[in-house]
Every structure is written in structure tokens, then in C-alpha cells.
Structure 1
Amino acid sequence: MPDPAIFVDADACPVKEEAKRVAERLGLVITYVSNGGIRPSRDPMVRVVVVPTGADAADDWIVEQAQPNDIVLTADIPLASRAIDKGCHVLGFTGKPFTPASIGMALAMRDLKQHLRETGEIQGYNPGFRPADRSAFLSALDTLGRKAKSLAGK
């Protein structure tokens, strides 16, 4: 099995540089996928893919390209679910993993919160990104990257 690759849902990713540092340290290819606004890199281990503007264009590209044991970084719960279905490891930008055991509840909570926002029961805001989130992300990605590499070696 080849080394895992890292795919980043990059449009609203607050941890692009951290992900790149971990990928470099582990010797993994990282691909940033977005609708634009990311500079190309001269580093052959860093790829930038710009997809057409569209609701799920970046998500669709990631799901089409990702292979089992690859790592997908996203805050998008439906994308996380699709990546898990393909056998990928999925990590949120705060370092929280999405797993086969947790994704059902995450999807249900997402749908519930969307309904409550639409009916005016709750305000539509997400908690701010904190330095502790950045630190948790770095640690979780390093651990996950090492795990995926060891699985590839089997």
C-alpha cells in the first residue's frame, strides 16, 4: 500500500501551515483543494488544486481522488462522512477526529442545528478558533499521520 496522502478542504482552513509542517515532517504529499485564493507551491510534496466554483466542487474532487488510508482535513461534516465511507481518516481543524462511530451523531447534530437556525430558535454562529485548537490539531494530525503511515507499511 502506498504512503497515505493528505487532502485539505482548504477554503476556510485555519491550519494550512500546520498541516504542511506535519506533512513535511512525515514525508507525506499534501493537497490543498479550494475554489481559489491559494498560491501554488514549488515544493513537489505540496499540491494546490483549484476547482470550479460550486457548492460541493472541492468536496467532490477530494472524494474522487482520496483512497483508503488517506487523510482528509475538513470541518465539513457531509464531506467527512463521504471520506469515511471511502475508508479515509478524517480530522477536523480543531483536532477532533471524525470516525465511523461518531459521524452519524455529527450529521444528526448538524441537521438539528440547521433546522433550529432556520426556525429562528438559535443564532447561527460557530465558536471562534482558539490557540488550543491549533495545538490540538497539530498533535492529532501528527498521531494520525504516523498511524496511517504504519498501516501503509503493512
Structure 2
Amino acid sequence: MAQRFKVISGVDISDLHISEILDVVQYDIFPNLIVFAAYGSPLAYRVTPAGGPEKCLFEVYLLLPFSGDRPDDAAYQRLEDNEKFGDIEALTYYGGIIDQDVDMMPRVQRGLYSSQSQTYTLSAYQESRIRHMRETLDKYLSFKARAPNRRQI
């Protein structure tokens, strides 16, 4: 894998452990940037509001290393609602993976609104980043602190 990466990028990563190449570390940068730090998945997402609480603009950045002169910026492509990330050649196989996440989003939204109590419960570990982000939002927006696991929809 390190050899293939060197051929593609010109960057020698042969001194790295396989887990450093394959594993993905996700950094959530307040308020709306997610960076996946890995040689195997050099992606970043930026999510911004778009006309109401049920819509957003979901931007995907593919961050590839280069050697030599800085290449020109990639062209911005905006997808219509019926288009897929998998149709964007530059995203290679990442497009299909992103489509899986995007296809799940309407079901997640419906699930959020299915509670009769109009609250949702966050898991203790897996969703701790969501809890932390909400608590940080509450802090900066001066909302009163809420129970750590229950959130109003």
C-alpha cells in the first residue's frame, strides 16, 4: 500500500505502520467542519444551513498530497437533489461511500421526530461527540445547561 501511495502521490510513507495508513481519525472542528485525517481517506466535510432546519449544504473536499508545483484548484461541482456523489469521477470510490451516508439521512431525520416525548437519547460513548458539540453550542449561545443525555427536538 505504501508503494502504491508513493507512485500515486510521490510521497514516501514506507516508515508508517499499516494502521497509520488505513485507520481514520475524525476531527470535528466547531461548528461545522469534519476532517478525516488518514492517508487512506483524505476527506473533509463542511455542513452549512440552507434555507431552514431540514436542509443543509453538504460539501465534500478530497485532500490529496502532491509533489512539485501546486496544482490548480479543483472545479467546484454542485449536485442537484437527484444526483449522487458516486457519479463524480474525481471522488473515486469515496463517492459511493458518501452516498450510503446521505441515503441514510432522511431515515435518521424521521427517527428524530418519531419520539412522543419530543426528546432523543444519546449513547454514552458512541455519540459523545454529538453531546459535546451540543453542550458547546449551548455554552456559546448562552442556553441553560440541559440533562446530558436527553435533548429536545
TM-score under structure 2 normalisation? 0.27
**Structure with the higher fraction of residues in helix conformation:** 1
Give 1 or 2: higher strand fraction.
2
TM-score, length of structure 1 as denominator length: 0.27
**Larger relative contact order (CA 8 Å, sep ≥ 6):** 1
